[in-house]
Structure 1
Amino acid sequence: MQIYGYVRVSTADQNTERQLIKMQALGIAEERIYIDRQSGKDFNRLRYQALRVQLEAGDILYLDSLDRLGRDYDGIIHEWRHITRIIAADIVVLDNEELFDSRKFRTMGDIGKLLEDQLLSTLAYVAEQERKKNRQRQAEGIAAAKGRGVYKGRPKRYNEKHAGINHTIDLFLKRQQNGYTIKKICEITKIGRSSLYRELQEREPIGRR
């Protein structure tokens, strides 16, 4: 059995320290804490997908809160069920551990599955509604800024695609010695080889690696 932690913030410049402190307090090894700096609107995230393929039956995955897993109603339910029922790993949500600890539901058999589904559906719906509200507030803020002539947009270095590629490179360089290849990383993250090679060349010419 292995213990993992998943940490997510919505943008590359947000601070992960609060979540990391919680994971470290649980004694989770640094290499088993997976961090994404991307929106929770879907699950096509570099580190989450890398974590997903590492999980095995009996493992435990810790989240700070349910919305760190994601903010899409259907996606949250699908991922939770896949991890807990297909992979047979467990999920513990730290800010609501009394309710969201799949180990407790597992011991209750079929009635546990029913209760888990009902609770998960309710909170996943709340998480998605909050995401929609945040998106609406952001759009209203941008519109107001444009109206005042002060909106400049997000700097290119912080857009999600660039952040995702950089994290792909970090994962590749860290895991290379354990058999991860560029082909494997591209398969996991769905980031094209050309993008990966271009960024790698900027860090260090591939011919010298």
Structure 2
Amino acid sequence: MFIRGYLRASTQDQDANRARAALSEFAIAHGHKVATFYVENVSGAKLEREELNRLIDDSHEGDVLLIEQVDRLSRLQADDWDDLKARIKDKGINIVSLDLHTSHTALTNSDATDDFTKGMIKAINGMLLDMLAVVARKDYEDRRRRQAEGINTAKAKGVYRGRKTDEALHERIRMALEGGQSLRKTATVVGCALSTVQRVQKEMKAAF
């Protein structure tokens, strides 16, 4: 059984690798190990995610996509979630989430389970995945709404200054680029999104 761990955080201020140990320990407790990790800092509300796409492309039938929580995989709108599920299903990938106990059966000896029980577990697992994906999306929308309300209140009071630039991060990116590193390599070494490196590169070019 080939287990691929997926680690995601929404912003560069969050540590996408935070749950790596938890996933590794979970797999070991079930008699397996995580073969490889796919890590990225990108919103779960985006369908197009480079590392998630790479994980799906790399996978084969029967492989496991291991996540800490369903919201690490999806905060998507319903149509996008359906598209992602279809891709995962077409590849024959089993989703296992630490917060979804019915999914843990994918790590057990399925030969000891009859077809009826397998079908019931699969149906229940799919239903619960959908439910948790809906909850994750609602949580995302609620946070965005509260954030927008807070910004509007700050603007009305004349105290809104916008998001501060992480100057230390930008300086590390500039040093890597000036040292001849590629955009993708810089993103990996510095630990940020490729789009952030591209933005800094654009600023560097504009400065000349």
Name 1:76's counterpart in structure 2.
81
The 8 Å contact of residues 90 and 101 in structure 1, kept in 2 or not, is answered as no
Please list every run of 5 or more consecutive structure 2 residues that lacks an aligned counterpart in the other structure: 28-32, 174-180
* Percentage identity across paired residues of the two chains: 29
Give the 3 Å change call, closer, same or farther, for CA 109–17 of structure 1 in structure 2: closer
Tell me which of 124, 128, 133 is aligned to 2:137: 128
Name 2:178's counterpart in structure 1.
none
The 8 Å contact of residues 73 and 121 in structure 1, kept in 2 or not, is answered as no
The answer to whether the aligner puts 1:152 opposite 2:161 as a matched pair is: yes
Paired with 2:165 and 2:43, the residues of 1 have a C-alpha distance of 16
3-state SS, counterpart of residue 39 of structure 1: coil
Name 2:150's counterpart in structure 1.
141
3-state SS, counterpart of residue 60 of structure 2: coil
Paired with 2:188 and 2:134, the residues of 1 have a C-alpha distance of 38
The 8 Å contact of residues 69 and 76 in structure 1, kept in 2 or not, is answered as no
Give the 3 Å change call, closer, same or farther, for CA 171–3 of structure 1 in structure 2: farther
User: Which residues of 2 match residues 182-197 of structure 1 at below 5 A?
Assistant: none
2:6 is aligned with what amino acid?
Y
2:87 is aligned with what amino acid?
H
The CA deviation at 1:34 is 1.0
Tell me which of 22, 25, 34 is aligned to 1:28: 34
Tell me which of 70, 81, 95 is aligned to 2:99: 95
- What are the Cα deviations for residues 161-201 of structure 1, in whole angstroms up to 9, with x where unaligned? x9xxx997039989xxxxxxxxxxxxxx9x8xxx97x95xx
Give the 3 Å change call, closer, same or farther, for CA 150–20 of structure 1 in structure 2: farther
2:62 is aligned with what amino acid?
G
| Number of positions where the alignment pairs a residue of Structure 1 with one of Structure 2 | 171
Name 1:178's counterpart in structure 2.
none
| Superposition CA RMSD, Å | 3.6
The answer to whether the aligner puts 1:170 opposite 2:185 as a matched pair is: yes
Please list every run of 5 or more consecutive structure 1 residues that lacks an aligned counterpart in the other structure: 175-188, 203-209
Name 1:40's counterpart in structure 2.
44
The 8 Å contact of residues 56 and 91 in structure 2, kept in 1 or not, is answered as no
The CA deviation at 1:112 is 4.3
Paired with 1:170 and 1:113, the residues of 2 have a C-alpha distance of 40
Paired with 1:147 and 1:20, the residues of 2 have a C-alpha distance of 42
The 8 Å contact of residues 7 and 17 in structure 2, kept in 1 or not, is answered as no
Paired with 1:167 and 1:126, the residues of 2 have a C-alpha distance of 39
Name 1:9's counterpart in structure 2.
9
Task: Name the TM-score, length of structure 1 as normaliser.
Answer: 0.66
Paired with 2:65 and 2:183, the residues of 1 have a C-alpha distance of 21
Paired with 1:125 and 1:167, the residues of 2 have a C-alpha distance of 38
Give the 3 Å change call, closer, same or farther, for CA 167–38 of structure 1 in structure 2: farther
Paired with 1:8 and 1:54, the residues of 2 have a C-alpha distance of 18
- What are the Cα deviations for residues 48-81 of structure 1, in whole angstroms up to 9, with x where unaligned? 1121211111211110000000111423343234
